[in-house]
């Protein structure tokens, strides 16, 4: 049975914490530490267990979880994704092989996606010369794989973009 | 086909104008848990419509412009607060007293005649407050169809409006260049609205050669993306029918629409979700997920124009899946969550 829970996952620096922060009504609970590995070249702090926020609605709250991005903390992924109503997967397009990253997340969250739904947000497209061409490669990949998941170009610093991600996830749940 | 008339230059005044058929139907929803009261109000709305050429259009809450609600029911106060923060929805309070000073109020104990009086006043006020809404559809459905067909059938197109606004469409590179002396930069929605609201007789479309096109646009640095524009332009077009160039009757979407790039409603997203999963005709979509026919047509037309639609005449159409909805979430919860996030987004 699904809980009122949305999980944001994805690669290191893809904007998971930012997305949870954008939606949360409460100050988000973070488990950030200063990285000591290669991640220190990317950002000053990294999530090691989870981010937690809450969106208060009529008669309850929607729990918002952000997973750690680093694979070595992946044991948390299953714990956090259990019974989630939707998994939002953020993919940093500026990484070396974002399609491979995306496949990795689909494989890791497969059983959770089957029980809920998934939405893909492609981030950091502002760093590319032609974001539309970049998006085409994802559209083509999804078409080839026959994936029906929503895939969107997003900037998680924009509230409206995070809104569209959740909106798409809810629409998918309605037609499940 | 070079263009709808088989010519290199085309003026939209040649198009049969059906815009006069527009009425002022306003979308309304009765958001009450109390079934008896809800049915009574819906009956009043139907009665109000009789003989008045569809004054009201009863729709789901996500599409409504006017929502009748009760402050006494769970979430009533939150709903009112979120409505007052945005201008898209006009709340009409249905209660025993108007202690929240809601601009529109129907007393619970009121009879049908008084109730219809209030509805009539709300309708008049809304029609008055958007005097240009119906004239914002200068572009009739057939003019819209011919314009989009001209743009998508030709590789390079120049659209001019009274020698004032020049827009260059590049289908090959998916770009639009705008030569506009009034402003340096123009957004997708402004451009779409501008074309929708001008008088069609002053719009002229000319197919250009690649050399001509590149020569003219080489000094225009800013550009918009054609596909995004076409989504915005099509979604905001009211009173559309399925485009004549769409041959099939059952459809599915090839890819997810770029919803983060253009204005849309939740009905459009829901329609896209349905057509991504199922092969269906318009009627199946509207009945299965309770969205308006117009929303479905808008999405199908936009997907078709942007090459994102697969219909049954395509080879890779695939097999028919039986529509068997077992939603993993309730409609009320979806609206609850979206309403809350929307309030956050707009705050």
Residue B129 CA to residue A18 CA, distance in Å, equals 39
Neighbouring CB atoms inside 10 A of A146's CB total 7
First-to-last C-alpha distance (Å) of chain B: 48
Query: Chain centroid to CA A57: how far?
Result: 21
Counts of helices then strands in chain A (DSSP H, E): 6, 8
Whether the CB of A18 is below 8 Å from some CB of chain B: the reply is: no
C-alpha closest to that of B187 among B258, B261, B134, B257: B261
The angle at the Cα of A52, spanning A73 to A114, to the nearest 5 degrees, equals 65
Neighbouring CB atoms inside 10 A of B336's CB total 20
Contacts of B340 in chain A (CB under 8 A): 55-57
Give pLDDT tens digits for B90-138. 888 888 887 777 778 888 887 777 777 788 878 877 776 654 443 345 6
Neighbouring CB atoms inside 10 A of B276's CB total 22
Which pTM value belongs to this model?
0.70
Whether the CB of B255 is below 8 Å from some CB of chain A: the reply is: yes
Per-residue pLDDT, A38: 65
Contacts of B338 in chain A (CB under 8 A): 166-167, 170
Per-residue pLDDT, B18: 35
Determine phi and psi for B33, rounding to 5 degrees: -75, -30
Strand A60-66 versus strand A5-10 pairing type: parallel
Confidence of residue A41 (pLDDT cuts 50, 70, 90): low
Closest A-chain CA to B288: A175
Closest A-chain CA to B342: A163
**Predicted ipTM?**
0.86
Residue A109 has pLDDT above 60, yes or no: yes
Helix (H) or strand (E) holding B157, with range, is strand B156-161
Mean of pLDDT values over A15-34:
84
Give pLDDT tens digits for A152-168. 999 988 888 998 999 89
Contacts of A161 in chain B (CB under 8 A): 260
- For chain B, 347 residues long, give each residue's pLDDT as a single digit of tens: 344 445 566 666 554 433 333 346 788 888 887 888 888 888 888 777 765 555 788 887 777 888 888 888 777 777 777 776 666 778 888 888 877 777 788 888 877 777 777 888 788 777 766 544 433 456 777 788 888 888 888 999 999 887 677 899 999 999 999 886 555 567 888 888 888 887 777 888 899 999 999 998 888 878 889 999 999 999 988 778 898 888 888 899 999 999 988 888 889 999 999 999 888 999 999 988 889 999 999 999 999 999 899 877 665 655 555 556 666 667 677 777 777 776 666 65
First-to-last C-alpha distance (Å) of chain A: 14
- Contact by Cβ (8 Å): B334, A168: no
Is A174's CB within 8 Å of B227's CB? no
Instruction: Transcribe A42-84 into DSSP letters.
Output: T-S-EESS-EEEEEEETTEEEEEEE---SGGGTHHHHHHHTT-
């Amino acid at each position: 049975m699904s809980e009122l829970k949305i999980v944001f996952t994805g690669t290191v620096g893809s904007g998971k914490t930012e997305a949870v922060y954008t939606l949360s009504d409460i100050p988000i609970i973070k488990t950030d530490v200063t990285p000591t590995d290669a991640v220190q070249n990317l950002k000053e702090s990294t999530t090691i267990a989870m981010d937690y926020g809450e969106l208060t609605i009529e008669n309850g709250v929607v729990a918002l979880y952000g997973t750690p991005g680093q694979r070595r903390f992946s044991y948390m992924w299953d714990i956090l994704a259990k019974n989630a109503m939707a998994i939002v997967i953020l993919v940093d397009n500026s990484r070396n092989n974002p399609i491979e990253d995306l496949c990795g997340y689909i494989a890791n969250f497969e059983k959770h996606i089957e029980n809920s739904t998934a939405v893909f947000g492609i981030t950091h497209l502002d760093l590319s010369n032609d974001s539309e061409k970049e998006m085409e490669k994802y559209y083509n990949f999804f078409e080839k794989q026959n994936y029906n998941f929503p895939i969107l170009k997003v900037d998680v610093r924009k509230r409206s973009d995070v809104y569209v991600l959740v909106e798409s996830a809810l629409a998918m749940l309605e037609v499940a | 086909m070079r263009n709808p008339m088989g010519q290199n230059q085309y003026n939209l005044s040649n198009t049969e104008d059906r815009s006069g058929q527009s009425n002022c139907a306003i979308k309304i929803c009765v958001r009450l848990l109390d079934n008896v009261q809800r049915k009574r109000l819906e009956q009043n709305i139907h009665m109000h419509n009789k003989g008045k050429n569809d004054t009201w259009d009863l729709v789901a809450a996500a599409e409504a412009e006017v929502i009748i609600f009760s402050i006494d029911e769970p979430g009533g106060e939150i709903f009112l607060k979120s409505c007052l923060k945005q201008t898209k929805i006009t709340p009409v309070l249905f209660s025993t007293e108007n202690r929240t000073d809601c601009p529109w109020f129907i007393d619970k104990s009121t009879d049908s005649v008084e109730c219809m009086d209030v509805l009539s006043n709300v309708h008049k006020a809304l029609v008055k407050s958007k005097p240009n809404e119906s004239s914002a559809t200068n572009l009739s459905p057939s003019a819209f169809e011919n314009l989009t067909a001209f743009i998508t059938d030709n590789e390079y197109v120049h659209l001019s409006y009274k020698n004032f606004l020049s827009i260059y469409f590049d289908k090959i590179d998916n770009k639009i260049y705008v030569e506009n002396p009034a402003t340096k930069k123009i957004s997708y929605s402004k451009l779409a609205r501008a074309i929708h609201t001008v008088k069609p007789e002053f719009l002229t479309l000319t197919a250009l050669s690649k050399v001509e096109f590149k020569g003219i646009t080489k000094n225009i640095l800013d550009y918009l993306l054609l596909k995004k524009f076409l989504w915005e332009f099509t979604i905001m077009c009211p009173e559309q029918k399925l485009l004549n160039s769409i041959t099939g009757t059952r459809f599915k979407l090839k890819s997810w629409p770029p919803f983060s790039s253009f204005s849309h409603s939740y009905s459009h997203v829901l329609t896209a979700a349905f057509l991504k999963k199922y092969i269906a005709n318009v009627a199946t979509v509207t009945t299965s997920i309770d969205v308006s026919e117009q929303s479905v047509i808008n999405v199908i037309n936009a997907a078709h124009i942007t090459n994102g639609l697969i219909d049954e005449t395509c080879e890779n159409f695939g097999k028919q899946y039986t529509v068997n909805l077992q939603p993993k979430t309730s409609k009320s919860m979806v609206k609850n969550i979206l309403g809350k996030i929307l309030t956050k987004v707009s705050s």
